[in-house]
Amino acid sequence: METAEKRKDDGIPAQVDDMAQAAGEPCEAGGTFVESEMSMETLLAGQDELAKKLSGNQVVWVKVISATKEYVLVDVGEKNEGAVPVAEFVIEGQSGGPRLPAAGQRIPVMRAGSARRDGHTLLSFKRAKAEIGWAAVLKAFNEKARVRGRVTSAIKGGFLVNMGGVTAFLPMSLADLLPVRSPARLVNTGVRCYIIELNEAKRQLVLSRKAVLEEEAAKRRTQVLLELRVGEVRIGRVVRVGPQGVTVDIGGVEGTVGMGDVCWGLPKLPPGLARGSKVKVKVLGKPTADKPADSLSLGMKHLTPNPADALRRKYPPKTVVKGQIGEVSPDGLKLALAGGQSAFCAAADCDPSLGCKAGDPISAIVLSVNSNTLDIIVSINKFEEIKDRKRMAQYLKAPPPLTLGQLLSPEKHD
């Protein structure tokens, strides 16, 4: 069934070709028919067997003689001809008229009714395809193998799929990995599915294309995860953007960029980032044999320098900074430093007796840099303490020794 996917649909379905080859019947769908030599006794026995099968409403393979506007004439033995309506060679869902078999080609047929007025036996190519197709379907269902078909129409709740003359139902919910928003786009396309329900008495089938897609996605995921290395940079496409972060698809595998790993500073999304956007990401972590349940962790901010590192170089600890008070709150003071950089002084690091208000000039000493907010953390109290210690040291400083002039003429230096 799976090998049939690569064959071109020429009016005889791939399932028919497979079943013919399995039964030892010659078929022109994929090769050239070569008629073997046989004795008269063998020929008569074969014709008798052919007649019995036709009478028993079984599928037989016959050779095409010629085609008219209405019928395709075939050899049914004993110098008799059978007739298959040309309309039965129209491929459902495709335009361009019927695809008639060439003279000498063998096709499957079944008896369709009594003899016509001109003596030709009326045969059905369509019914024979359906019988062979149904046998192939039963085999695939029992072996849990994939089947190939063509979507012929979209109906309420799903699609109708033709598989070698057998019509099956493909529910909308099982047609794709994501909800199908444009059903018409799937019509007249080839699909690979699993048969999930089969009613032999009613010849009803239910398919799942989603199961095939999930199986292939799982294989791709395994392969991609095997190739991924922690620390490498990949290009992916944004699948979802939400409050928890960004989901990015890398070659069929979805990974998550947490909000804290999107950009440096306070968590926020870059402008223009939306579903479908191409982004560069760095692999931070991936599932392993020891931890298969771990998710694929990605980062975006790691591809750009951390601004906090530059601020630490510019404002090392104990640096004295000057600025203006921008905002006063119970948590502390927000400061605007020269050069446009912001700083924060916690309430515990500023003296409430100073009566600070917005707009007042202020001096403080740097304690650290906040990697999340990119604020410079300062202390006004420590700055004042250092000033007090300097004044005290100046006050306690010993007087300079007396000079010789001061010793000889003390009255002049009083």
Per-residue confidence (pLDDT) for residue 414, from 0 to 100: 57
9 and 95 belong to one structural domain: yes
Per-residue confidence (pLDDT) for residue 160, from 0 to 100: 96
Please give the mean pLDDT across all residues of the chain.
81
pLDDT in tens, 60-80: 888 999 988 889 998 887 677
The answer to whether 165 touches 130, Cβ cutoff 8 Å, is yes
Residue indicated by tokens 């060679």: 89
Among 46, 44, 111, 114, residue whose Cα is nearest residue 84: 111
94 and 183 belong to one structural domain: no
Domain assignment present for 223: no
Strands, DSSP E only, in 200-301? 204-208, 233-242, 245-250, 253-258, 278-285, 297-299
Quote the domain boundaries for residue 60.
Answer: 3-130
Total residue count of the chain as it appears in this document: 414
43 and 116 belong to one structural domain: yes
Domain assignment present for 405: no
238 and 264 belong to one structural domain: yes
Q: Is the pLDDT of residue 390 over 80?
A: no
331 and 376 belong to one structural domain: yes
d(CA 78, CA 123): 16
Domain assignment present for 413: no
d(CA 371, CA 311): 10
CATH number, residue 201: 2.40.50.140
Torsion-angle region of 24 (φ positive above 0: left; ψ -120 to 50: alpha; else: beta): left
Q: Which two tokens stand for residue 26?
A: 């010659």
Domain assignment present for 139: no
Q: Is the pLDDT of residue 1 over 60?
A: no
Domain assignment present for 409: no
d(CA 298, CA 410): 82
Q: Is the pLDDT of residue 36 over 50?
A: no
pLDDT in tens, 49-61: 676 777 767 888 8
Per-residue confidence (pLDDT) for residue 35, from 0 to 100: 38
Q: How confident is the model at residue 114 (pLDDT cuts 50, 70, 90)?
A: low
**Domain end call among 130, 159, 174:** 130
**Domain end call among 278, 303, 328:** 303
Domain assignment present for 141: no
Domain count, the chain: 4
15 and 119 belong to one structural domain: yes
- β-pair type (190-199, 204-208): antiparallel
Per-residue confidence (pLDDT) for residue 150, from 0 to 100: 93
Handedness of CA 341, 347, 349, 351 (dihedral sign): positive
31 and 123 belong to one structural domain: yes
Among 87, 111, 83, 82, residue whose Cα is nearest residue 100: 87
268 and 158 belong to one structural domain: no
**Domain end call among 269, 303, 337:** 303
Domain assignment present for 408: no
- β-pair type (376-379, 342-346): parallel
Crossing angle of helices 125-143/14-23, nearest 10°? Answer: 80
